[in-house]
Amino acid sequence: MLAEERRNQLLSYVRRQGFASPQQLAELLHVSESTIRRDLEHLEETGSTKRTHGGVYYVGPTSKISQFEGHLPRHLQRKQTIANVAKNLVQEGDTVLFDGGSTTYEVAQLLVGRPLQVVTNSLPVANLFASDPHTDLVLVGGYVYPKTGVALGPHAKAMLKEIRVRKTIMSASGITEQGLFNRNYLLVETERAMIEAAEEVIIVADSSKFGHQNLAYLTALNNVDWMVVDNHLSEEWRKKIRSAGIELIIADDEETN
């Protein structure tokens, strides 16, 4: 693979994910980490990315990625459909707290340029708003998990205890009748503090997450106010969500075309 082609693939991946570690990129492109470091130096010189401890994050334009720029994340179209509906739950002047989920990131992209107060523990999400003159940005600090660029741990949790927001928008990697789940114990501790900080909790999750638990239990369904899901969600699950007292919004593909 030519260096230019490899760098284009690298940039495409970092743009989609918002943040990536050198180890991830080396495995993705089947090259050494030293090659990745040289590529990252080149991309940083072009102003497309910026390196930080543990990885690299995207700082270029936030426009949508064209279909020829490599492999797209799983269920990306569903996530974008969900985001296009979920953005309407945010009003001008709201204080909004975002976690680092991939669907949450899609929502955040659509809110750039609106007058908001944004709080986040996600470097990729923070980067979207960092140069936006319409947004007041608060970045939650702590240990930065290199796979996702999300701050978590006791410092993040302590800071979140001092914050109050109008809405928390977050994702989940698993949803069952018992509640919401995620993949990381430190992450769910931080996300519980996000839930406690909010007047309203909005879950954005594609239908593949339903009926599956994951490593770490996050919270019960009755702690959620709104849930935005794509129209592949089964009728059985729609009834379960509504019976839990959650306002369910089904994002229809046709409504976003």
Domains of the chain: 3-58 (1.10.10.10), 76-256 (3.40.50.1360)
Q: Which residue type, as a one-letter code, is found at position 107? A: V
pLDDT score recorded for residue 75:
72
Closest listed residue to residue 54, CA positions, set 25, 16, 13, 97:
25
Residue 112: how many CB atoms within 10 A of its CB? 15
Closest listed residue to residue 137, CA positions, set 163, 107, 116:
116
CA separation, residue 6 to residues 9, 10, 253 (Å): 5, 6, 33
pLDDT score recorded for residue 245:
97
- Each residue's pLDDT tens digit, 176-233: 999 999 988 888 999 999 999 999 999 999 999 999 999 899 999 999 999 999 999 9
Predicted TM-score of the model (pTM): 0.74
pLDDT score recorded for residue 65:
36
pLDDT score recorded for residue 204:
98
Residue numbers in the chain where pLDDT is lower than 50 = 63-72, 256-257
Can you state the angle between helices 3-17 and 22-29, rounded to 10 degrees?
Answer: 130
**Distance from C-alpha of 98 to C-alpha of 170, rounded to nearest angstrom:** 6
**Distance from C-alpha of 244 to C-alpha of 179, rounded to nearest angstrom:** 10
Chain Cα centroid distance, residue 105:
4
pLDDT score recorded for residue 67:
32
